[in-house]
Amino acid sequence: MVIRLVLFGAPGAGKGTQAALLKEHFGALHISTGDLFRRAMKEKSTLGDQVRSYMDLGFLVPDEIVMNLVRKELVDVVKENGFLFDGFPRTIPQAENFEQALSEMHHSLTAVVSLEVEQDLLVRRISGRRVCPKCSALYHVDSLSHGEVCPTDQSPLEQRKDDAEEAVKTRLKTFALQTLPLKEYYREKKLLLQIDGSGTPAAVFARLLSVLQPVLD
């Protein structure tokens, strides 16, 4: 079964986690714009520096830069057995541009899945995130029993700048202003599926599969 999905939701809604589960289930390619941004930043290019200046403040990376990075990926993406976009599109111009790029390649989206999570839970989920500077593993402070060190290599864990509480609040505000209107956009296109994103990753995944079933039949 080939699926072409967009995972939609606020920062902390669990898009990355669900994308990983979907990837395992359907064998589709997972493209996270967060990962694309971080890769660009590591390359220390002008583009990477621009991306960083927006992300550190919790602002959206401008459409032109995002489309630049995504279009490069799309060429390979459409050859794969379906895809899952997480963190993209984030604005209506990006969605329109994406649709055009897909139709040029004779493809279209299967569905857009919106993960619905209350604001308080979003803030708790993101501001508790820690990353290991050595092995890049992600953790949540609630699941660490021996302090903020990596259980694998004992490195002291760090908080990403865009996960700090102030940046999180800006990210949520930005989401409400610029990204939330996309829900209406996809609803009008009859692509939107909404699910409750609270609870364990497994519980959310079960809900996700059940709403996807009718679309896949």
Residues involved in catalysis: 15, 90, 129, 160, 171
Nearest-angstrom CA–CA distance, 75 and 141: 38
Q: How far, CA to CA in Å, does 118 sit from each of 16, 59, 160, 169? A: 17, 21, 22, 13
**Which residues lie near Zn ion (CB under 5 A)?**
132, 134-135, 137, 150, 152-153
Question: How many residues in the chain?
Answer: 217
Nearer to Zn ion, 145 or 213 (CB): 145
Nearer to Zn ion, 113 or 150 (CB): 150
Nearer to Zn ion, 122 or 132 (CB): 132
Q: How far is the CB of 174 from Zn ion (least distance, A)?
A: 30
Q: How far is the CB of 158 from Zn ion (least distance, A)?
A: 11
Q: How far is the CB of 154 from Zn ion (least distance, A)?
A: 8
DSSP string, the chain: ---EEEEE--TTSSHHHHHHHHHHHH-PEEEEHHHHHHHHHHTT-HHHHHHHHHHTTTPPPPHHHHHHHHHHHHHHHTTSS-EEEES---SHHHHHHHHHHHHHTT---SEEEEEE--HHHHHHHHHTEEE-TTT--EEEGGG-SSSSB-TTT-PBPB--GGGSHHHHHHHHHHIIIIITHHHHHHHHTT-EEEEE--S-HHHHHHHHHHHHHHHH-
Q: How far is the CB of 161 from Zn ion (least distance, A)?
A: 19
Nearer to Zn ion, 53 or 154 (CB): 154
Q: How far is the CB of 200 from Zn ion (least distance, A)?
A: 24
Nearer to Zn ion, 152 or 210 (CB): 152
